[in-house]
């Protein structure tokens, strides 16, 4: 996935978060591709996963705060989409820590999350950003 795979929104802060999200996603995939039995490569993957998880939580928290501040009408639906994405991410990461299944982790980061992100940005974030941009000016 490339940052250009996501539609732009009317909020540069949101676009920047999306670019950062894609870069962190790519860092996880790169670390997963480089993974072998060595401790440094495992540590690099774990760090990339942690960075991704922290950024994802912060990104969604900022969007939720912005929607709440501007009284976005679809706030509950949008926030629930974030909550479900975080719950799924947490499940995948917990399973990785327990069973070390590279295929399952790879499937999530190569296919599942990118598809979810593209759909979410195109269907929810574009509309949210348009609403917030109209209210903020």
Q: From 94, 13, 25, select the one nearest 59 (Cα to Cα).
A: 13
Go through the domains of the chain in sequence order and give each one's CATH number: 11-136 (1.20.120.50)
Q: pLDDT (tens digit, 9 = 90+) per residue, 19-35?
A: 999 999 999 999 999 99
Q: From 61, 3, 53, 4, select the one nearest 28 (Cα to Cα).
A: 53
- Per cent of the chain over pLDDT 90 is 91
In whole angstroms, how far apart are CA 101 and each of 33, 54, 134?
A: 13, 22, 45
Q: Do residues 19 and 3 lie in contact, with contact meaning Cβ atoms separated by under 8 Å?
A: yes
C-alpha span between 119 and 97 (Å, rounded): 28
pTM of the model: 0.93
Residue 122 pLDDT > 90, yes or no? yes
């Amino acid at each position: 996935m490339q940052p250009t795979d996501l539609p732009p929104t009317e909020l540069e802060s949101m676009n920047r978060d999306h670019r950062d999200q894609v870069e962190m996603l790519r860092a996880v995939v790169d670390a997963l591709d480089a993974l072998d039995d060595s401790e440094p490569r495992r540590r690099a993957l774990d760090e990339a996963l942690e960075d991704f998880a922290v950024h994802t939580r912060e990104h969604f928290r900022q969007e939720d705060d912005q929607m709440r501040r501007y009284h976005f009408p679809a706030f509950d639906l949008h926030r629930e989409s974030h909550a479900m994405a975080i719950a799924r991410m947490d499940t995948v990461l917990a399973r990785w820590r327990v069973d070390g299944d590279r295929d399952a982790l790879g499937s999530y980061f190569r296919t599942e999350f990118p598809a979810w992100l593209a759909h979410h940005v195109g269907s929810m974030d574009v509309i949210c950003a348009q609403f917030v941009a109209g209210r903020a000016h």
